[in-house]
Amino acid sequence: MKISFLIHNAYGIGGTITTTFNLAAALTGRHDVEIVSVLRHREHPHLTPHPGVRLRALVDLRRERDDPRHRRPAKVFPSAEYRYHQYSELTDQRIAECLEDIDADVIVGTRPGLNVHLALQAPQQVVRVGQEHLTLDNHPPRLRTALRRAYRRLDVLTTVTEADADAYRRKMRLPGVRVEALPNSVPDPELPPADGTAKLVIAAGRLVPVKRYDLIIEAFARVAAEYPDWQLRIYGKGEEQAGLRRLIESLGLWNNVFLMGAATPMEAEWVKGSIGVAASNFEPFGMTIVEAMRCGLPVVSTDCPYGPGEIIKDGVDGRLVPVGDATALGAALLDLVRDDELRRRMGRAALDNARRYAPGPVVAQAERLVRDAVAARSAGQRLAPETGRTHRALTGRGHAAADLARAAASDALRTLRKGRP
């Protein structure tokens, strides 16, 4: 089966790029996979695609930025979409040409505007899968209206959390479209996991306001006051960097808190620590939380919409605290700093429970969705609504998540191997 991913800019840095590269790589074992990047702005991508994954671009900004068509507004890509200013008559034209000539069995769109192109322009015989990497409630009303009209032509729509899948089912009412939660996956770690002995807390991600690194620093001030030999390392870059540096200096934490810049891959940094921390006001998924847990770190996080509460089992493999509460965040960190055995026990639980986000379970679910959609389209039918055998069984709250994930993956893979990929 040939599977094509349509992505905004595979040559940049971001969670959607990472998860697309991860999923594409995991699918290469049994499928012909390519990534089609609408835009390209540099010679080589920041992330290296799997050798079995082809990468091609539609508009090369190094040569075509001044093309007159790129100065005229896009008409297909929805104007209410966040990235609209980067799209144009030229991107409309190139995407349409790509879809018209595509020989894939399945095309996967990776953001709302591209999902609209896919829904409206993909050939009739091709299965159309739209991915949502943000959330429905995060989109402005005008965009939701555009999506409601176009998404009815999709075969499958995936979200990264069950909460968002429920929101799409309740609010969008897309007859004949399978809406299912498909989490992001994190590759199996190559390094030994953290052992919980290092006096080090780690945070990572874009240094932007919604991630609330200021709250993390303020919370860690309580840790440093009681345990001055502990450190906080923050990995990433972004607009908040200068302000965070000033905050560190104003709190006198220059010997305890360090802005480390971006690191790729992060695995080598996670395993140096003993605790992961996140403090977002809003998190569609929580990729760094999973990355930390897969390296054996318990994670203290704000219980923000939507992802952390589906990833972390509070009190088992990490802690969930109210959004915006530096006192609660600091207290939760101190609980783990003070208790070596609790920290190590939670780290072992994090390592075990996060296996549900390994490529195996996630790819098995993706392949099942694609297989069902291909069969339905071949028969001239629409997919039935999801049957409950979804990521709901994989979430951290109220389920034996790791066991269920492994069982679902094993069952799906056995089914796939009986038939033609």
For position 377, what pLDDT does the model report?
86
How open is the CA angle 134-135-137, to the nearest 5 degrees?
140
For position 386, what pLDDT does the model report?
63
pLDDT above 60 for 396 = no
Please state whether 183 falls in left (phi above 0), alpha (psi between -120 and 50) or beta: beta
Domain 200-356 -> CATH class: alpha beta
Which residue shows structure tokens 């894939």?
Answer: 104
- Distance in angstroms (rounded) separating the CA atoms of residues 130 and 77: 14
Question: Do 106 and 34 touch, CB atoms closer than 8 A?
Answer: no
Same topology for domains 2-185+359-416 and 200-356, yes or no? yes
Q: Which residues contact 355 (CB under 8 A, 6 or more apart)?
A: 294, 361, 402, 405, 406
Q: Worst-scoring range by mean pLDDT, 3-7, 9-13, 289-293? A: 9-13
Closest CA to 391 of 181, 130, 163, 164: 181
Query: Which range in 123-127, 331-335, 394-398 is most confidently predicted, on average pLDDT?
Result: 331-335
pLDDT band, residue 136 (cuts 50/70/90): very high
For position 47, what pLDDT does the model report?
87
pLDDT average, residue stretch 260-281: 95
Question: Do 383 and 373 touch, CB atoms closer than 8 A?
Answer: yes
Share of the chain above pLDDT 70, in %: 91
pLDDT average, residue stretch 5-25: 92
Is residue 238 helix, strand or coil?
A: coil
Q: 178 has which bridge partners?
A: 156
What tokens appear for 114 in the block?
């591209």
Alpha helices by DSSP H, listed for 195-325, are 213-226, 241-250, 267-270, 287-294, 308-311
Protein fold of 2-185+359-416: Rossmann fold (3.40.50)
For position 383, what pLDDT does the model report?
78
22-56 residue pLDDT tens:
999 999 989 999 999 999 999 999 888 999 999 99
pLDDT band, residue 113 (cuts 50/70/90): very high
Classify residue 193 by its DSSP letter.
P
Question: Do 178 and 385 touch, CB atoms closer than 8 A?
Answer: yes
- Distance in angstroms (rounded) separating the CA atoms of residues 295 and 290: 9
The more confidently predicted of residues 202 and 176 is 202
325-348 residue pLDDT tens:
999 999 999 999 999 999 999 999
Calculate the CA dihedral of residues 224, 204, 324, 225 and round it to 10 degrees. Answer: 0
pLDDT above 70 for 387 = no
pLDDT above 70 for 407 = no
Domain residue limits, the chain: 2-185+359-416, 200-356
Is residue 321 helix, strand or coil?
A: strand
Which residue shows structure tokens 């992505």?
Answer: 7
